[in-house]
Structure 1
């Protein structure tokens, strides 16, 4: 089966989006906005007529990513649990890294992968933590990633230490 010339593969689309974000328009031309993946927000529940919230009207607590349990961390560090995918975010801007990480995790989750390694790097040499090192754990707890990520934790030294994260993806249903 041949692919139409105007269709991009998923890898080509990821690469194109990363390149397109770094370009500037020609003089006299306006920039075209590249949309990010936007998840639909659930509709708010209607308020009860008598003003007393019912059990159905109470919002459910959102699932928060936890750290990996000690046994799983030990198995990943020793190589007894396979790391089935890895993504390196070194040298990227926050926008590029966010886009690549979200796409990578979507593809890994769809492929049934459970454990991946996200390499953020340790940061700038000016003594502070790198922006990706601080931001990626926060991103993994946001609604965009919550349905993909079960838990995450810092990697063992042989996998990058504090400059990398183990991420456990949720099981596909």
Structure 2
């Protein structure tokens, strides 16, 4: 659109309007209330300065659509209830599991009784460390509005181990070392048989 210049009539009208106006002072218009506290100055976030042009350190952002922590985050946050030295060896894959069960391909209603029987039998035989293989699970998320977690057994097994009757037998549950299955398997450290 082409800008139009003001003609003489428009200029005369503009001058009459500006002659009658006065300048407004903003400090007189808005007076702060006496009871209200002074607003805090805005906080400025500054990036950490790093040496020799390396990237600044940033904190990991949490996913905004999932309020519940991931399964691996929950297990890392769980307190260590067993011997710390043995726990460190177990996490590094240095302890050899005394028994194992593979739940690959099982449905929930077949896997639950199989897991219960295996853990109770291992505890009765005096075993301390067993390996429960669940698999990582199939990719089922179609991109819908509700996120779908992968691996039904992978998410259900720690819950089963934390519920009675297995909770009385289990001392520690930890994700297995990569040499024993990584994210698709769990170390289950059992209590002493009494």
TM-score band, normalised by the shorter chain? 0.5 to 0.7
**TM-score under structure 1 normalisation?**
0.57
Per the TM alignment, residue 68 of structure 1 is displaced from its structure 2 partner at its CA by: 6.0
CA gap 1:75/1:66 in 2 versus in 1, 3 angstroms: closer
Instruction: Please give the secondary structure, in 1, of the residue aligned with 2:162.
Output: coil
Q: Does 1:163 align with 2:184?
A: yes
For the residue of structure 2 that corresponds to 1:140, the secondary structure is helix
Q: Partner residue of 1:129?
A: 150
Matched pairs, number: 110
Q: Does residue 110 of the first structure (1) align with residue 131 of the second (2)?
A: no
**What TM-score, normalized to structure 2?**
0.51
Structure 2 counterparts to residues 4-83 of structure 1, below 5 A:
71-83=85-97
CA 1:84–1:121: 2 relative to 1, 3 Å: same
Pick the structure with more helix per residue: 2
State the secondary structure of the residue aligned to 1:108. helix
After TM superposition, give the deviation of residue 147 of structure 1 in Å: 1.5
Decide which structure has the larger Cα Rg and report it.
2
Please list every run of 5 or more consecutive structure 1 residues that lacks an aligned counterpart in the other structure: 1-63
RMSD between superposed Cα atoms in Å: 2.3
Closer, same or farther in 2 for the Cα pair 1:66/1:89, shift >3 Å? farther
